[in-house]
């Protein structure tokens, strides 16, 4: 998505070998206009997939996922990393290991929110090693929901998450695919939605 790639060039900051800081529009401060365009793009790509729910994981996946849900006119569910006192229903639970944070967290969704056979579009902000996405796939499998697609805002294509998800047979749409960092600059690979870009 050209609009997103342009914004990454403008406001993204390369940290070390493999981290992109995007706290001016995605992971801390959120540009709702950009998020709305991102949500619309996911909705365009999956317009004919019969999506009944959008699913993401807290925290930074929520903003783009909410606009995708709005555009598809379906509810958004976000998997929670901490169980709170109101979560007294049956829970679908999985473990997600974060290579970035070097810790494992338990993530959960109330089982009553998803019915067997629902068609789910998973959205997340970053795809690195794929652990968060694989965790969400596991939750969807437990719910007997069908994952019709996986929409990623920023994929770091030099890490192995993409391959793991393709190996799972996923239909993957990454709006920005980072091939590498070179002298502090971001070099992009062709994005999965490039056919939808006007220019």
Binding region for ligand G4P (CB under 6 A): 19-22, 27, 59-60, 98-101, 125-132, 156, 161
For ligand G4P, the closer of residues 125 and 192 by Cβ is 125
49 is in an annotated binding site: no
Q: Does the annotation place 84 within a ligand binding site? A: no
| Beta carbon nearer to ligand G4P, 39 or 161 | 161
27 carries a ligand binding annotation: yes
Distant-in-sequence, close-in-space partners of 65: CB < 8 Å, separation ≥ 6: 39, 54, 55, 56, 76, 78, 123, 124
The angle that helices 62-72 and 32-45 make with each other, rounded to 10 degrees, is 50
Using the minimum distance from each CB to ligand G4P, give the nearer residue, 51 or 132. Answer: 132
Contact of 32 with 63, CB cutoff 8 Å: yes
- Rounded-to-integer distance, Cα 47 and Cα 30, Å: 25
The reply to whether 63 sits in an annotated binding site is: no
- Is 10 annotated to bind a ligand? Reply is no
Task: Say if residues 152 and 127 touch (Cβ distance below 8 Å).
Answer: yes
Q: Dig out the tokens for 151 from the structure.
A: 């929409």
Integer Cα distance of 122 and 65 in angstroms:
8
Q: Which is nearer to ligand G4P, 92 or 161 (CB)?
A: 161
Which residues, including other chains, have CB under 8 Å from residue 17's CB and lie 6 or more apart?
181
Closest separation in Å from C-beta 158 to ligand G4P: 11
Residue among 9 and 144 whose Cβ is closer to ligand G4P: 9
130 annotated to bind ligand: yes
How many residues are listed for the chain in this entry?
Answer: 199
DSSP-derived letter for residue 197 is -
CB of 199 to ligand G4P, least distance (A): 27
Shortest spacing between CB 95 and ligand G4P, in angstroms: 12
Kindly state the smallest distance separating residue 118's Cβ from ligand G4P, in Å: 23
Binding residues for 5-phospho-alpha-D-ribose 1-diphosphate: 128-132
Binding residues for xanthine: 20, 27, 156
């Amino acid at each position: 998505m050209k609009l997103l790639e342009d914004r990454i060039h403008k406001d993204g900051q390369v940290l070390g070998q493999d981290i992109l800081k995007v706290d001016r529009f995605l992971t801390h401060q959120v540009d709702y206009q950009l998020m709305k365009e991102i949500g619309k793009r996911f909705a365009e790509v999956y317009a004919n997939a019969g999506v009944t729910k959008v699913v993401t994981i807290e925290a930074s996946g929520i903003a783009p996922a909410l606009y995708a849900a709005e555009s598809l006119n379906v509810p958004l569910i976000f998997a929670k990393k901490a169980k709170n006192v109101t979560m007294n229903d049956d829970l679908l639970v999985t473990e997600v290991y974060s290579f970035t944070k070097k810790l494992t967290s338990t993530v959960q969704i109330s089982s009553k929110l998803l019915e067997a056979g629902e068609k789910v579009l998973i959205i997340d902000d970053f795809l690195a090693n794929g652990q968060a996405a694989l965790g969400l796939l596991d939750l969807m499998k437990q719910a007997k929901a069908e994952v019709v697609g996986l929409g990623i805002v920023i994929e770091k294509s030099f890490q192995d998450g993409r391959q793991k998800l393709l190996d799972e047979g996923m239909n993957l749409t990454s709006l920005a695919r980072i091939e590498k960092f070179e002298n502090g600059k971001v070099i992009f690979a062709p994005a999965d939605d490039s056919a939808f870009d006007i220019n």
